[in-house]
């Protein structure tokens, strides 16, 4: 029973890391280029490379042996490698980058707020230059 619990825990860990890998995959162009099943297999394979829970080649062979498909296992592996390549090129933005992106998104969502801020800055600048030159505002 304890062996079963150990295996169950390893599979749960594999599932959790695979979910994390799916999140990474979704931040790439892969969802636009590959079907969901291949994305899931790529995430599972990446997760398994760390944890070594499954014999992944054997797993793929067992899937292919049960299905009649026009595609070969080598084509699938080629697709999985391409997905891995996209994920490995992924660069997670820093907090500073995220703030900058967030500001841009907010201005896109509500351009009128940007116009108000610009007007406010101009009026502040005018009043400061007026005071500086001794001109009452």
What range does the domain containing 8 cover? 2-88
Write down the pLDDT at residue 2: 60
Percent of the chain clearing pLDDT 70 (strictly above): 79
Domain count, the chain: 2
Residue with the two structure tokens 């001109």: 135
Residue with the two structure tokens 């009649």: 68
**Closest to 55 measured CA to CA, from 68, 67, 71, 44:** 44
Euclidean distance between CA atoms 94 and 91, whole angstroms: 9
- Helices 56-66, 36-51: inter-axial angle, 10-degree rounding: 150
* Residues 74 and 102 both lie in one domain: no
Query: Residue 87 in contact with residue 21, Cβ under 8 Å?
Result: yes
Q: What is the mean pLDDT of the chain?
A: 84
Write down the pLDDT at residue 130: 57
Instruction: Assess whether pLDDT exceeds 70 at residue 86.
Output: yes
Does this model's pTM top 0.85?
no
Euclidean distance between CA atoms 9 and 76, whole angstroms: 28
* Residues 62 and 101 both lie in one domain: no
Confidence of residue 87 (pLDDT cuts 50, 70, 90): very high
For the stretch 38-61, pLDDT in tens is: 999 999 999 999 888 888 889 888
* Residues 66 and 100 both lie in one domain: no
């Amino acid at each position: 029973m304890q062996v079963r619990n150990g295996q169950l825990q390893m599979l749960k860990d594999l599932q959790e890391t695979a979910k994390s890998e799916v999140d990474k995959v979704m931040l790439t162009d892969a969802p636009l280029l590959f079907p969901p099943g291949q994305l899931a297999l790529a995430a599972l394979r990446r997760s398994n490379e760390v944890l070594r829970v499954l014999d992944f080649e054997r797993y793929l062979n067992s899937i292919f042996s049960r299905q009649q498909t026009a595609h070969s296992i080598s084509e699938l592996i080629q697709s999985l490698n391409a997905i891995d390549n996209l994920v490995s090129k992924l660069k997670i933005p820093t907090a500073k980058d995220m703030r900058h992106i967030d500001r841009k998104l907010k201005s896109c969502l509500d351009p009128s707020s940007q116009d108000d801020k610009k007007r406010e800055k101009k009026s502040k600048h005018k009043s400061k230059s007026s005071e500086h030159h001794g001109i009452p505002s």
